[in-house]
Structure 1
Amino acid sequence: MSTERIEADFSAALDTPMMRQYMDIKAKFKDSVLFFRMGDFYEMFLEDAKIASAILDIALTKRQNSVPMCGIPYHSKDAYIAKLLSAGKKIAICEQSKPDDSNPKLMTREVVRIITPGTVIEENLLSGYRSNYLCMILPKTALVFVGMADVSTGEVLQFAISVSDPEGLSAELEKFQPSEICVLEKDKERILGWERLGEKNFTVLPASAEGGNEVKDPFHSVRNCLEYYVRENYRDGSLTLREAKVLNAGSFLEMDRETILNLELTENEYGKNHTLFSVLNFCHTAKGKRLLKQRILFPETDLAVLESRWEKQDLLRKIPSQPILQSLKDLGDLERILTRFRNNKSAPRDFRTILTAIETAFSLKETLHAIGYPIRYPIAKLTDLETYIRERLHTEELPVILGNGKFLKDEFLPELDRAREAGSKGMDWILELEASEKKSTGLSTLKIKYNKIVGYFIEISRNQAEQAPKEYLKKQTLVTTERFTNSRLEEIERAILESDDTIRILERTEFEKMTAEVLRFTNELLELSEEFGDLDFQLSLIKAEENYGWTRAKFSQNSGSFMKDSRHPVVEAALPVGSKFVPNDVQLDTGDNAIAILTGPNMAGKSTFMRQIALNQILFQIGSCVSATKAELPIVDKLFTRIGAGDNLTAGESTFFVEMKETAHILRNCTSQSLLLFDEVGRGTSTYDGMSIAWAILEFLSEMPRRPKTVFATHYHELTELSRLPGIWNIHMETLEKDDKVLFLKKVKPGKAKKSFGIYVAQLAGVPETVVKRAGEILSDLESRKKEIRIQTREPSLFQDFQPSSPEQTFWKEWKNEISSLPLDSMTPIEALRLLDEWKRKLNARKKSDQD
């Protein structure tokens, strides 16, 4: 077939009333896959069909042999929508309503909903209890204003970050992990230039979404943008967001993106297991789990908040927890249920969940009040709602979908009872009437039958038809029979045929009334959800303490950190039965022991030791017990870790460059109240470059007016000489050498390590013996050169390029007298080189002076 013919056929296929309608609607929703309702199917055409068929793995066909198309059954759309959302697509749902006045053969259609990754509320499209955030980024002159809305619960959180702190914005995005990020069209190019945001896909909003120039408060502008986008997606205007909560800077422990990832707080590369969240998560409610995750990512800096949590835990320890946990176990996700109510997507079973929640509140009230536990949920106000629902709701199993089973209880509505009776006993009534009429008329051939055309009728043979009672009304005459009806049969028929519609109308009407009544108590139910979630959170922390043998840390008045027998809470929990974690003491203060230089071989446990310090600090600042036998901890304002690094090839950044950027961020932002954990800083470049950088970092920290608590793990053993500087001290991972083998004891001891045992570790890893042997030879050679440097420092005549003249020999004697008191034999290479440089500088200055 010629190209011209193909193009003509394609144009003809598009030039039909239905396809013209499709093209008009699609033009308004170019960034969405359009689900075009046609009877019992949603059809997709053209490019949408190609995209959807590939993602959904469904057949791609053609309409009129020209237009690409594919389709899915409307009743199973959710499974297909979930796949498209996972692929980052938006879906516009286009429904048909009534015949078009201008063309009766064509149905009118309109888009009723746009489903996007950040605006999902359907339970089967959400990821369990996890929050699903829609993000709005609004940069202004000095600050970037950010809003995070979980549309499924209505929660809105807002905060501001300095424009000059892209790392801070990156950290917040890592915490919230929004499913969708919105920006204004005018801001898109600017934001794309920011670090780690250039590779993201943004939803672009028009400038009008902000609300106009009259809106002066940037937080209000952010809110306007979020609400604009929600209205665009929920086109009936039914969905609303709750009042925004502003997260003020300094109210929570600050952690950058790398720290969150390094510490594996809520997830890791293997998924959700073996994280701090997984170890702490003994929660039974969706709200409790969300609160736990949120509090891990936003640890408190307010001692009063922590004391309140400790007080609650102490009260809860007075009573058995199992009855309370059993009550919480049956609670549904009230926040998301209320959102579905607001969007007309609630189900009959949601009323049972609300009723159960109120009943649980009643049952727990006396128990909690008896121990003085502070509960603030408005139990008195919810009494009316509980009574209202109980009077109406069916007491047994409720249907998933309204109309698929009983929703209202019997004897609530007499009309409904009659309709149900007609539906269930209609055939019994027919049989009873047949028996009664046959007996009263004496007509042996009388039968009551039904067909779709005539409906119910009394059938009598032609021979006996003349004997039919006068009140019988003739409906139809056949060859061998006559068909009649009477008032009683018409009454029964009407009841049977109308019962389904009556039930549907009555239950739908009452369902809508009950929905409206529930929504009147939205604030009270949200308070109840918050209280249950916090209670669940407190009990989860108590359970973790009991399971793992943790201890309540005291608050350190002097800002020092002390832990006796501390452990890594996640690693210890994951150990096989019978294995035991090797505990270690931790001692950091703001004085002589502020900065610990940690040395020791690979595999000895340096990284684990540092991470357990950080994780226990986070546990403390969420109100949990810590993994130690005894502890006294301060509240720190910022927690930074520089552990491991990867390159950023898309931005042309090497591993070392990324490492230095992270280090720079830490040094620029740390305070005296911060906790810093550095692991092998400087290893990504040459030995002396890296050592010099590490050396300078430690000097910088030592010279701070008030030093941040720091652990600096390194293989540069030369750095241990810095213990002579204020605030710096040495600790090391203990090892035991025996019979050419090394045992890593995992114990932290004061002092510096003897050596790194890197070659031994390489041997353990299976490096070929020839390579291991050669590495040993090279190491011996390098060690001898270190000694050579020290010798040359004390005897400059050994330098090959230096032959001292008489004046120079005189200078050397003076210089030698000056340095005679220094411990030259124990000097590090860096110290030795610095000493040589100083000697050469003074020698050159003397030469220049003599020449002048």
Structure 2
Amino acid sequence: GGIIRDGYNGDVDELRDITIHGRDYILSLEAKEREETGIRNLKVGYNRVFGYYYEVSKGQLDKVPEHYTRRQTLVNAERFITPELKEKEDKIIGAEHKLKTLEHELFSVVRETVSSYLPKLQSTAEGIATLDVLLSFANVAERHRYCRPTILEDDTLVIENGRHAVVERILSGENDFVANSLELNGNDKRLMILTGPNMSGKSTYMRQVALIVLLAQAGSFVPADSASIGIVDRIMTRAGASDDLTGGQSTFMVEMSEMAAILDQATPRSLLILDEIGRGTGTSDGLSIAWSVMEYIADTRLLGARTLFATHYHELIDLGNTLPGVFNCHVDVSEQDGDIVFLHRVRPGGADNSYGIDVAKLAGMPDVVVVRAKELMEQIERNKGERRSLVKRSARNMDGQLDLFSEAYAVRIADTIIERLEEADVDHMRPVDAYSLLIDLKDLATKRKRQSGQE
């Protein structure tokens, strides 16, 4: 019920009105009969045996009209029906069922009529949807000063004064959002190591890059002064901290599972947004994992994807001076009267200070906790130099010569290809399964070829 609009069909309107106002009809009929017969205590009743009836006390029986039909005699009253009352009763009692039945019949007729025009309707709907999207793109671009991006087929990703499409609208003033630029390519600038304190804008910067790329490939103008974007085959992100209580996975396990999926599915044409990899475990473990992940991504024989890699492990800054294609940037801050001011400006070079204690002070930590934290940090910083020198000494060579790690990885891929072929039941394999296996083996062969330095 309720699927047919008022005014479309007269019978539906009448039945709907009766369903809603049925009791009012009976009461109005009761008042009408009282007035016409002069029986002041006449009243309408209902039971399952007789349905609706008029009840008249025995002292008023002489006023009962001839068209009243007696149905029941009581001690002090008698009950009557009339043709008009029965007609109303039939309409009221069956109205709801009749309404639903009639509405379904009408709906079926409409549905059959519409189905005959289905191809035209679908084509029109598709055209309207496309027009709606394009008009929305144009409206936003004109109102918020977006630019037309240049789409390329190489590994270029250059954005001049890019902005976050959502955050800049949340800020009250038109010029409150600080725009930042980016330059990535497939050669000397593939992977950016981004350092800076919490709340400085690292996550916003990385996400705005992802949004700009996504908007550009969707056909929209982008929030920037200019943008040249080499097409990416996927945008993969690992950001935020959350656990999976129902699945029994900790924050760190969720992080590692997502990171494993990214490294497995990413290609050299992907864009990776990685925010503080390894922070869910101890410092040594986290640093080691972040370091290894960065080497894997930076190595063109393994991946070589364009990547923004935010971290608080400042020891990794030295990889920007060691690994090919890796470079450092930081989000700038200013110190004024012992306090920090976030400038939200991305600058070249790494940052040696996370200003974590200053952020804790801004958050309202007790002064005694802040002072003690500074004392402890001075002691911890004395050992920081050892970790920095370790990174410099141990960074994996990527000069094109195969090291033991690369050789072992290439052999492992080859073993996997052979194992998959041995396990394949070619006599009972469906064509679609054979095609899927072939695609998987081709991907593995491509990885091995890249790892062996043959590309």
TM-score (norm 2): 0.64
The aligned runs of 1:482-561 (5 Å cut-off) are: 515-561=111-157
- Correspondence for 1:714 among 308, 311, 315: 311
Q: Is 2:272–2:307's contact at 8 Å kept on the other side of the alignment?
A: yes
- What is the DSSP-based 3-state SS (H/G/I as helix, E as strand, rest coil) of the residue aligned with 1:565? strand
Shift in alpha-carbon separation, 1:767–1:510, aligned structure 2, 3 A: closer
Shift in alpha-carbon separation, 1:718–1:404, aligned structure 2, 3 A: same
Q: One-letter code of the match for 1:729? A: F
Q: Is 1:398–1:405's contact at 8 Å kept on the other side of the alignment?
A: no
Aligned to 1:142: none
Q: Is 1:599–1:732's contact at 8 Å kept on the other side of the alignment?
A: yes
Aligned to 2:292: 696
Aligned to 1:398: 7
Aligned to 1:126: none
- Correspondence for 1:828 among 366, 374, 389: 389
Distance 2:205 2:120 in 1: 46
- What is the DSSP-based 3-state SS (H/G/I as helix, E as strand, rest coil) of the residue aligned with 2:124? helix
- Identity across the alignment (%): 40
Q: Is 2:319–2:392's contact at 8 Å kept on the other side of the alignment?
A: no
Structure 2 alignment gaps of length 5 or more: 16-61, 68-83, 396-455
Aligned to 2:234: 638
Aligned to 1:843: none
- Correspondence for 2:367 among 764, 769, 779: 769
- What is the DSSP-based 3-state SS (H/G/I as helix, E as strand, rest coil) of the residue aligned with 1:572? helix
- What is the DSSP-based 3-state SS (H/G/I as helix, E as strand, rest coil) of the residue aligned with 1:546? helix
Aligned-residue offset at 1:515 = 4.7
Shift in alpha-carbon separation, 1:510–1:557, aligned structure 2, 3 A: closer
Aligned-residue offset at 1:513 = 5.0
Q: Is 1:637–1:673's contact at 8 Å kept on the other side of the alignment?
A: yes
Aligned-residue offset at 1:404 = 0.8
Q: Is 1:736–1:742's contact at 8 Å kept on the other side of the alignment?
A: yes
Shift in alpha-carbon separation, 1:739–1:534, aligned structure 2, 3 A: same
Shift in alpha-carbon separation, 1:747–1:402, aligned structure 2, 3 A: farther
Aligned-residue offset at 1:518 = 2.8
Aligned to 2:179: 583
With CA pairs under 8 Å and 6+ residues apart, which has the higher RCO, 1 or 2?
2
Aligned to 1:742: 340
Distance 1:716 1:685 in 2: 13
The aligned runs of 1:244-283 (5 Å cut-off) are: none
Shift in alpha-carbon separation, 1:726–1:528, aligned structure 2, 3 A: same
Distance 1:674 1:600 in 2: 25
Aligned to 1:572: 168
Q: Is 1:641–1:677's contact at 8 Å kept on the other side of the alignment?
A: yes
Aligned-residue offset at 1:573 = 1.5
Is 2:212 the counterpart of 1:616?
Answer: yes
Aligned to 1:685: 281
Deviations 1:349-371, CA, capped at 9 Å, x for gaps = 4xxxxxxxxxxxxxxxxxxxxxx
- What is the DSSP-based 3-state SS (H/G/I as helix, E as strand, rest coil) of the residue aligned with 1:597? strand
Q: One-letter code of the match for 1:656? A: F
Distance 1:728 1:721 in 2: 10
Q: One-letter code of the match for 1:629? A: D
Give the aligned length: 321
Aligned to 2:358: 760
Q: Is 1:399–1:405's contact at 8 Å kept on the other side of the alignment?
A: no
- What is the DSSP-based 3-state SS (H/G/I as helix, E as strand, rest coil) of the residue aligned with 2:342? strand
- Correspondence for 2:244 among 642, 645, 648: 648
Shift in alpha-carbon separation, 1:516–1:610, aligned structure 2, 3 A: same
Aligned to 2:323: 725
Aligned-residue offset at 1:512 = 6.0
Q: One-letter code of the match for 1:404? A: D
Deviations 1:682-729, CA, capped at 9 Å, x for gaps = 112221221111111111112123611100001111111112211100
Aligned-residue offset at 1:519 = 2.6
Distance 1:780 1:667 in 2: 37
Distance 1:591 1:664 in 2: 25
With 514-523 and 682-691 compared, the bigger mean Cα shift is at: 514-523
The aligned runs of 1:166-205 (5 Å cut-off) are: none
Q: One-letter code of the match for 1:828? A: S
Distance 1:676 1:620 in 2: 16
Q: Is 1:348–1:401's contact at 8 Å kept on the other side of the alignment?
A: no
Q: Is 2:4–2:103's contact at 8 Å kept on the other side of the alignment?
A: no
Q: Is 1:677–1:712's contact at 8 Å kept on the other side of the alignment?
A: yes
Q: One-letter code of the match for 2:312? A: H
Distance 2:182 2:64 in 1: 103
Distance 1:599 1:401 in 2: 72
Aligned to 1:141: none
Aligned-residue offset at 1:618 = 1.3
The aligned runs of 1:175-324 (5 Å cut-off) are: none
Q: Is 2:151–2:229's contact at 8 Å kept on the other side of the alignment?
A: yes
Shift in alpha-carbon separation, 1:610–1:400, aligned structure 2, 3 A: farther
Shift in alpha-carbon separation, 1:509–1:734, aligned structure 2, 3 A: closer
Aligned to 2:222: 626
The aligned runs of 1:644-683 (5 Å cut-off) are: 644-683=240-279
Aligned to 1:606: 202
Aligned to 2:376: 778
Aligned-residue offset at 1:625 = 1.1
- What is the DSSP-based 3-state SS (H/G/I as helix, E as strand, rest coil) of the residue aligned with 2:13? coil
Q: Is 2:191–2:325's contact at 8 Å kept on the other side of the alignment?
A: yes
Distance 2:173 2:201 in 1: 20
Aligned-residue offset at 1:540 = 1.3
Distance 1:544 1:578 in 2: 15
Q: Is 2:147–2:224's contact at 8 Å kept on the other side of the alignment?
A: yes
Aligned-residue offset at 1:559 = 2.3
Q: One-letter code of the match for 2:340? A: V
Structure 1 alignment gaps of length 5 or more: 1-344, 350-396, 407-477, 484-492, 791-826, 835-852
Q: Is 1:594–1:707's contact at 8 Å kept on the other side of the alignment?
A: yes
Distance 1:583 1:627 in 2: 9
Deviations 1:147-172, CA, capped at 9 Å, x for gaps = xxxxxxxxxxxxxxxxxxxxxxxxxx
Q: Is 1:591–1:707's contact at 8 Å kept on the other side of the alignment?
A: no
With 608-617 and 698-707 compared, the bigger mean Cα shift is at: 698-707
Aligned to 1:333: none
Shift in alpha-carbon separation, 1:755–1:538, aligned structure 2, 3 A: same
Q: Is 2:276–2:312's contact at 8 Å kept on the other side of the alignment?
A: yes
Distance 2:179 2:268 in 1: 27
Q: Is 1:559–1:589's contact at 8 Å kept on the other side of the alignment?
A: yes
Q: One-letter code of the match for 2:355? A: F
Distance 2:227 2:355 in 1: 33
Shift in alpha-carbon separation, 1:347–1:755, aligned structure 2, 3 A: same
The aligned runs of 1:75-224 (5 Å cut-off) are: none
Q: One-letter code of the match for 2:191? A: I
Distance 1:482 1:725 in 2: 109
